[in-house]
Amino acid sequence: MDVSTRKLRYFVAVADELNFSRAAARLFVAQQAVSKQIRELEDDVGAQLLTRTTRSVGLTPAGVVFLSTAREALATIDAGVDAARRVAQGDVGILRLGFLVGGAMELMEPIVTAFGATNPGIHIQLREFGFDDPSAGLADGSSDVAILRPPLSAADIELEPLFVEPLVVGMAASHRLAQRESVSVRELLAEPLVVARTPDELWRRMWTLEDYRGGTRAPVVALTSSHTEELALVASGVGATVTVAAASRYTPQFGVRYIPIDDVAGSVVAIGWAKSKRTPLVERFVKTVFEVRDRETDLVAAIEHPFEDRQNKRARS
């Protein structure tokens, strides 16, 4: 038996109004259409649901029982349709937010808080990705949106830059350059490097300063699987590592000193998503990210210019 929702709605309208004419007006259809649907419904059910006379309409005992079930069925279907639409429109559901080690740093908390305040039906699933996936889950579809650091080799990823963070070199405290206030990229070209293991060659080139080497390969002496492993090797003097200024705040390591690199382009932090999956939910999150970025000017300034106080003091001395 296949009972359509139309028949159920017509039956409920007649049961509420106890009048075919009023039910038809409520449904914006002809009275004959209502009568036809009710007859077909009774045939489908195999029982008379309504009593009809020239003066009145009433529910049979079977009709009373069926009315309750019909209301519940319609309510369930309407709720399901509404829920599906809300998910499709990004009003409810889950947003999978990937971020690379370091992420948006100080901006992560205000971003998540601001988005949650305006999107209470969305649960954000945060997941940190290591250097083995610089796309932070976008390449394999495990993230809907991600905060990461280009450049990336992965196709079908759209990026919008948020800010640029200075690069530093991490060196053993005993290294000959470790007490310098800053170093030039030329001074680092011969330094043995400890580098994160990654399948993305384009991403790796940034951290080995390939663009400044004139075609010469970087002297990589160790590949690591984690930032902790990387710092342990640097502290023991195996080699230096190129990283971002935030590392000195979030991953201080005994025996490692972070020194600003003067003449090298910084690391762009960007919000990214798959071009083929730019949903209304993703668009709203991206909009929130930029609103927070533009509002939190002091935080952004501290990220982009972390050594400004040190440079000012040096200039005054």
Residue 283 confidence (pLDDT) above 60? yes
Region at 270 (left for phi over 0; alpha for psi -120 to 50; beta for the rest):
beta
User: Is 272 within 8 Å of 159 (Cβ atoms)?
Assistant: yes
Pair 140, 288 in one domain? yes
Region at 214 (left for phi over 0; alpha for psi -120 to 50; beta for the rest):
left
Within 13 Å and on the Cβ side, how many CA atoms surround 312? Answer: 5
Average pLDDT over residues 46-60: 91
- For residue 122, the enclosing domain spans 93-164+268-316
The residue among 225, 243, 260 that closes a domain is 260
Pair 117, 160 in one domain? yes
pLDDT band at 64 (very low <50, low <70, confident <90, very high): very high
Cβ–Cβ contacts within 10 Å for residue 24, how many? 20
pLDDT tens digits along 27-37: 999 999 999 99
Cβ–Cβ contacts within 10 Å for residue 179, how many? 11
Residue 315 confidence (pLDDT) above 50? no
The CATH number of the domain where 199 resides is what?
3.40.190.10
Please give the pLDDT value at position 254. Answer: 83
Average pLDDT over residues 265-270: 94
Please give the pLDDT value at position 1. Answer: 66
Pair 201, 67 in one domain? no
Please give the pLDDT value at position 310. Answer: 53
Pair 129, 104 in one domain? yes
Please give the pLDDT value at position 93. Answer: 86
Pair 220, 179 in one domain? yes
Provide DSSP, 208-262: TTGGGTTTPPP-EEEEESSHHHHHHHHHTTS-BEEEETTHHHHS--TTEEEEEBT
Please give the pLDDT value at position 249. Answer: 80
Pair 244, 303 in one domain? no
Residue 213 confidence (pLDDT) above 50? yes
Predicted TM-score (pTM) of the model is 0.72
pLDDT band at 50 (very low <50, low <70, confident <90, very high): very high
Pair 159, 210 in one domain? no
Considering its fold, how many domains does the chain have in total? Answer: 3
Give the integer Cα–Cα distance in Å for 197 and 204: 8
Residue 252 confidence (pLDDT) above 90? no
pLDDT tens digits along 102-150: 766 789 999 999 999 999 989 999 999 988 999 999 999 999 999 999 9
Average pLDDT over residues 228-247: 93
Pair 100, 182 in one domain? no
Residue 268 confidence (pLDDT) above 50? yes
Residue 83 confidence (pLDDT) above 90? no
Give the integer Cα–Cα distance in Å for 98 and 150: 14
pLDDT band at 309 (very low <50, low <70, confident <90, very high): low
Tell me the chain's radius of gyration from C-alpha atoms.
32
In Å, what is the CA distance from 72 to each residue of 13, 37, 47, 83?
14, 19, 19, 16
User: Is 289 within 8 Å of 118 (Cβ atoms)?
Assistant: no
Between β-strands 50-52 and 267-274, what pairing exists: parallel, antiparallel or unpaired?
Answer: unpaired
Mean pLDDT of the chain: 90
Pair 247, 293 in one domain? no
The CATH number of the domain where 27 resides is what?
1.10.10.10
Please give the pLDDT value at position 81. Answer: 87
Give the integer Cα–Cα distance in Å for 20 and 22: 6
> Which amino acid would we find at residue 204?
R
Region at 170 (left for phi over 0; alpha for psi -120 to 50; beta for the rest):
beta
Please give the pLDDT value at position 8. Answer: 92
Within 13 Å and on the Cβ side, how many CA atoms surround 250? Answer: 15
Residue 317: DSSP 8-state: -
Give the integer Cα–Cα distance in Å for 176 and 155: 42
Pair 64, 105 in one domain? no
